[in-house]
Amino acid sequence: MRALVTGSAGLVGRHVSAELERRGWVVDRCDILSGWDALDVFRQGGNDCIQHYGLVVHAAASSPHRAAIDGEPQHFARNLQLDSAMFDWAVRTGQGRVLYLSSSAAYPVDLQSGQPQRRLNEYCDLDLDGWVPVDDGWYQMTPDANYGWTKFIGERLAEQARAAGLPVTVVRPFSGYGEDQAEDFPFRALVERARRREDPFVIWGDGNQVRDWIHIDDVVAGMLAVAESGTEEPVNLCTGVGWSMAELAHIACDLVGHKPRFEYLADKPAGVAYRVGDPARFHEHYKPTVTLAEGIARSLR
């Protein structure tokens, strides 16, 4: 049982590598930050010199946080290159199952205004042909910025690789978080501001942006459960429950006994208004166990 994890220095990569090792897998960790660029793996030549893996977890991506998504378009080409090279390599060398991390950013932004509130559904709300049905007809798919387009295209590549005989599992994580996440991501940024008792307490946007927060323990256990099932349907990794940025900040501040003045920065990247997943298909494989309050408390500890 040998696995390759790309992006192994990132939040998901670190935790899935550790969990696979705990389950008895031999894990090759591949990350550009540790000096092993995934593209070097994918560009190797003949099959005789290539390791064959029972599982390839493709978590590598270039700067998938809000500030980079909105303000650093150069990552688009890098992420497309990573995904296309990975699928080409996996098909060409006859790798085992690929676990491809897509994203909730692949869903159409028009469905995430919060008016009305709706939980994003794998069956109804994302069509890889590029069109989604609505009550009065059809409208064109528009994922969330270049990062969303990368994942949309990645899912199309996954379909083509599957048609070529490669077993592929596609999961769509929503707002994953954890105690060791970087402060580039909103959960950790807000929790650390509470820990430092910052006053004023800064929140990007108006604070009403709602996200489906899912702890990294549930992301990892859930994605591996989906992969083990062998399903060929994409699966949301989500809780189905939405919490706003302001609510998250208030919970963290309450837990440390901090009562700051909140300052909202409308000129900062805020993302869509309402992004919550439908967990029905996910629950066929796994049900999350870590509540948001528990996850915040863990991070503060």
Answer yes or no: is pLDDT of 301 > 70: yes
Cβ of 2: how many Cβ atoms within 10 Å? 14
Closest alpha carbon to 120 in 137, 103, 101, 140: 103
234, 155 Cβ separation under 8 angstroms: yes
For residue 181, the one-letter residue type is Q
Nearest residue to 237 via CA among 140, 114, 106: 106
60 vs 132 pLDDT, higher one: 60
CATH of domain 2-178+212-240+279-288: 3.40.50.720
Q: What is the pTM of this model?
A: 0.92
Q: Beta-strand (E) ranges in 193-287?
A: 201-204, 210-211, 213-215, 235-237, 243-244, 262-265, 274-277
> CB under 8 Å to 35, separation ≥6 — which residues?
none
Backbone angles phi, psi at 126, to 5 degrees: -140, 115
Kindly tell me if the per-residue pLDDT of 93 is higher than 90.
Answer: yes
pLDDT digits (tens, 9 = 90+) for 123-177: 989 888 766 655 566 556 688 888 899 999 999 999 999 999 999 999 999 999 9
Going by pLDDT thresholds of 50, 70 and 90, the confidence category of residue 67 is very low
Integer angstrom CA distances of residue 47 from 85, 94, 123, 146? 15, 9, 37, 33
- Beta strands per DSSP E along 112-167: 119-120, 131-134, 137-140
Comparing 71 with 148, the larger pLDDT belongs to 148
What are the residues whose beta carbons fall under 8 Å from the beta carbon of 93, sequence distance 6 or more? 47, 50, 52
Q: Decide if pLDDT at 299 tops 50.
A: yes
Mean pLDDT of the chain: 91
In this prediction, residue 137 carries a pLDDT of: 60
How many Cβ atoms sit within 10 Å of the Cβ of residue 134? 11
Instruction: Answer whether residue 71 shows pLDDT above 70.
Output: no
CA of 114: how far to CAs of 119, 143, 145, 187, 250, in Å?
A: 10, 16, 18, 20, 21
Domain assignments of the chain as residue spans, ordered by start: 2-178+212-240+279-288
d(CA 244, CA 217): 21
pLDDT single digits (tens) 187-246: 999 999 999 999 999 999 999 999 999 999 999 999 999 999 999 999 999 999 999 999
State the burial class of residue 219 (Cβ atoms within 10 Å of its Cβ: 0-12, 13-18, 19+): buried
